[in-house]
Amino acid sequence: MKPKLLLTYLILFSCYSVYSQDLDRGIVQIFGTNEGAAQVTSSSWKIISRTIYTDMEDLFTTPIPSGYTREYYIGFRKADNMPGCGSPSFRFWFTWKNLPGHEFMVSRDWGSPNEGTFKWAKIPTNRQQATAQGFTHPDYWRIEGKLPSECGTEMRLLGIYVKAVDKVNGAIASVSLNADASASNSTFLIGGIANPLYLNDGNGFVGIGTSNPDFLLDVNGISRFTQKMIVNDEIEAKKVKVTATPGSVPDYVFKADYKLRSLPELESYIKTNSHLPNISSAKEVESKGQDVGEMQLRLLEKIEELTLYVIDLQKQTTELKKTIEKQSQEIKMLKGK
């Protein structure tokens, strides 16, 4: 081959190779990081992303070169758990119209280095889906997912991404409309690996140590509060344990050097103060509240004091009985004379 002809051939081949290369337009994350991991546990549709308010095509603003076709793909980043029972299904949902969009499945990539992750799935644009459903303005959309009916496990997703690729011989994905009803809310996992927080997005319930919280805060395990916890309502419990500092338990009442008030002194105090000694007044409790643990110890102190009063009264009663019996015998003797 002549040098000039060879050079021309190489230039033409180089131009063709450059022109025929796929042009990757980048990746945009549409779910993850702030929301935590979405958890899907059933074959019913679950919401797994926030509503996105931007048309998919508007996420990639680079003009499409002449002769190219822009293809769109969606990818999912797995968390710890992956379904091992078939391919999960996903669909678009247009929240403004309350209508489903394109349904698709994703398969797992078992090849290194992506073992256990989901492959990229080719998808139609929002506008294609809207046209197929018969409406305009295809923004306000989200992604929903479900597991195969034979699955008895769960799926956790950390992130959802869309990307655009311009191809010379590209082809637009066809639309496969879903016809199911609206989805229910998912549970989201926030932080942690073995023991994350669980957030039910439907009712706002948060679970710690449980994946199915039944209350605004549902804790399965031991909790510790080192400062004040304010509850502006009732507290319901099967058992309450209050610890005490050393020396605060009133066994000191039974020591020999304890100065127990006499009953007349106690009566005088009650008349003056309208409450027992070392017990908060009604005004104090109403304005400042009361420490349950401290109150229990003070009440125990009163019980122990009452015990001493009862013991003393019992001694007096015994002495009175002896005196009465003695006087009774003396009266009988006097009558017998």
- Average pLDDT, stretch 65-75? 95
Looking up tokens 């509060």 gives: 225
pLDDT (mean) for 2-27: 62
Candidates 214, 182, 187, 219; CA nearest to 200 is 187
pLDDT at 5 over 70: no
pLDDT in tens, 84-141: 677 889 999 999 899 999 999 988 766 555 555 778 999 999 999 999 999 988 889 9
Q: What per-residue confidence (pLDDT) applies to 133?
A: 95
**How far apart, in whole angstroms, are the C-alpha atoms of residue 9 and residue 28?**
39
Name the most confidently modeled range: 173-177, 183-187, 281-285.
173-177
pLDDT digits (tens, 9 = 90+) for 216-247: 999 988 888 888 888 889 888 898 888 888 88
270: region left, alpha or beta (phi > 0 left; psi from -120 to 50 alpha):
alpha
Backbone dihedral angles phi then psi of residue 48, each to the nearest 5 degrees: -125, 5
pLDDT digits 0-9 by tens, 317-328: 999 999 999 998
Tell me the whole-structure pTM to 2 decimals. 0.67
Residue 8 vs residue 294, higher pLDDT: 294
Choice between 41 and 90, residue whose per-residue pLDDT is larger: 90
* Amino acid symbol at 55: D
Residue 265 and residue 259: Cα distance in Å, rounded?
12
Between 328 and 152, the more confident residue is: 328
Whether 331 shows a pLDDT value over 70: the answer reads: yes
**Residue 14: is its pLDDT beyond 60?**
no
Q: Determine the pLDDT at residue 28.
A: 92
Mean pLDDT on 58-73: 95
What does the alpha-carbon distance between residue 125 and residue 94 come to, in Å, rounded to a whole number? 12
pLDDT for the residue numbered 119: 82
* 5 membership: H or E segment, kind and range: helix 3-19
